[in-house]
Copies of this chain bind each other. A is one copy, B any other.
Amino acid sequence: MTSPYAPLQNNTFLRACLRQATPYTPVWLMRQAGRYLPEYKATRARAGSFMGLATSPELACEVTLQPLERFPLDAAILFSDILTVPDAMGLGLSFAEGEGPRFAKVVRDEAAVAELRVPDMQKLRYVFDAVATIRKALNGRVPLIGFSGSPWTLACYMVEGRGSDDFRHVKALMYARPDLMHQMLSVLADSVAEYLNAQIDAGAQAVMVFDSWGGALADGAFQQFSLAYTQRVLKRLKSIGTDGQRVPSIVFTKGGGLWLPQMSALPCDVLGVDWTVNLGIARAQVGGEVGGRGHTLQGNIDPAVLFASAPQIEAQVAKILESFGLPHTDASTTGPTHIFNLGHGISQFTPPESVAVLVEAVHAYSRAMRR
């Protein structure tokens, strides 16, 4: 199989995903292409609307590459929205200026759930075209991560119709009609799996499931309504990409730190954690042993650190790297590895200079740790 793509020049991120030794700790940032960058705002203005930006493969490619021009990040992530799948299901996604996403239709009763189907992937062609365009434009510089919202997270928005601070409607449906919730999550899991597989076919070199609202669930409900469907997605994922390489998968449950021991059974490569988690404890729980099985950890600095001065950012970066401890360094086998990231998406108010300090600090300090 010959790859249509240029060979990868920086495989640090992919190696770390697969628990292989790397000369330094790779770093990328959730929402690294976004509003904190003036050039993003300029492209967004040209696009006219957020959906205009997300549905144009050329513009999505442009903003995906913007942070790589500024910072030596070790991965790119597709610029898109987590709600493209329900939109393709016919719920009518829109973004009012200065507000979050909103659906024209909500799913709150038996009839609405019965209508749900795995969407025609042709309706999501703009996403796959964006993946192909970006992969080509990257030209092997760093790997490209594709992504989707988790079934539970998509269900939250589909039932609430928008963001929520108490998830009253979706939880009411879940507790009152667990049968409907399971039906809905089954369709969503199959949709997400198809969606991610199509991203892999379009050139994604890793895929990530954002379980942004899993942490809103009670213990017990999380396992039943979020974890089980993330697992269903993972089981259906292709493991080999268009270039014949392994495509690692990442699962991030915001607020899911308590459930890490259970998440260690997930058939994915990387577990993302938010800033409440101690990386040393998490490594002991899910990192595995040298030569054995285990999960790479991704995370987890508080994005608010980026509002502090350069020396303070450097000190906090060191603290995170030290809390994970020395990653696996033996090239002849696999072992516990760490991918540096934020514990959540970057704030739109972040000074871009702070990001430069952070990325440089991760690379320099993690190289020094290995010496």
Using a CB–CB cutoff of 8 Å, the interface residues on chain A facing chain B are 165-168, 171-172, 174-176, 215, 217-222, 255, 257-258, 275-278, 300-302, 304-305, 307-309, 312, 316, 319, 323, 343, 347, 349
Which residue, A172, A219, A276, A301, has most C-beta atoms of chain B within 10 A?
A219
Check A175/B308 contact, CB under 8 A, given A168-B347, A276-B258: yes
Please, which residues of chain B bring their CB within 8 A of the CB of A220? 278, 319, 323
Residue of B nearest to A214 (CB): B276
Residue of B nearest to A215 (CB): B276
Contact of A304 among B168, B257, B319 (CB under 8 A): B168
Complex Cα distance A133/B257, Å? 43
Pull 19 A–B residue pairs with CB atoms less than 8 Å apart, ordered by A.
Answer: A168-B304, A171-B304, A175-B312, A176-B307, A176-B312, A217-B276, A218-B276, A218-B300, A218-B301, A218-B343, A219-B275, A219-B323, A221-B302, A255-B276, A257-B258, A258-B258, A258-B276, A258-B277, A258-B278
Please, which residues of chain B bring their CB within 8 A of the CB of A168? 304, 307, 347, 349
A347 and B166 form a contact (CB under 8 A):
yes
Please, which residues of chain B bring their CB within 8 A of the CB of A171? 302, 304, 307
Please, which residues of chain B bring their CB within 8 A of the CB of A301? 218
Check A277/B219 contact, CB under 8 A, given A168-B307, A171-B304: yes
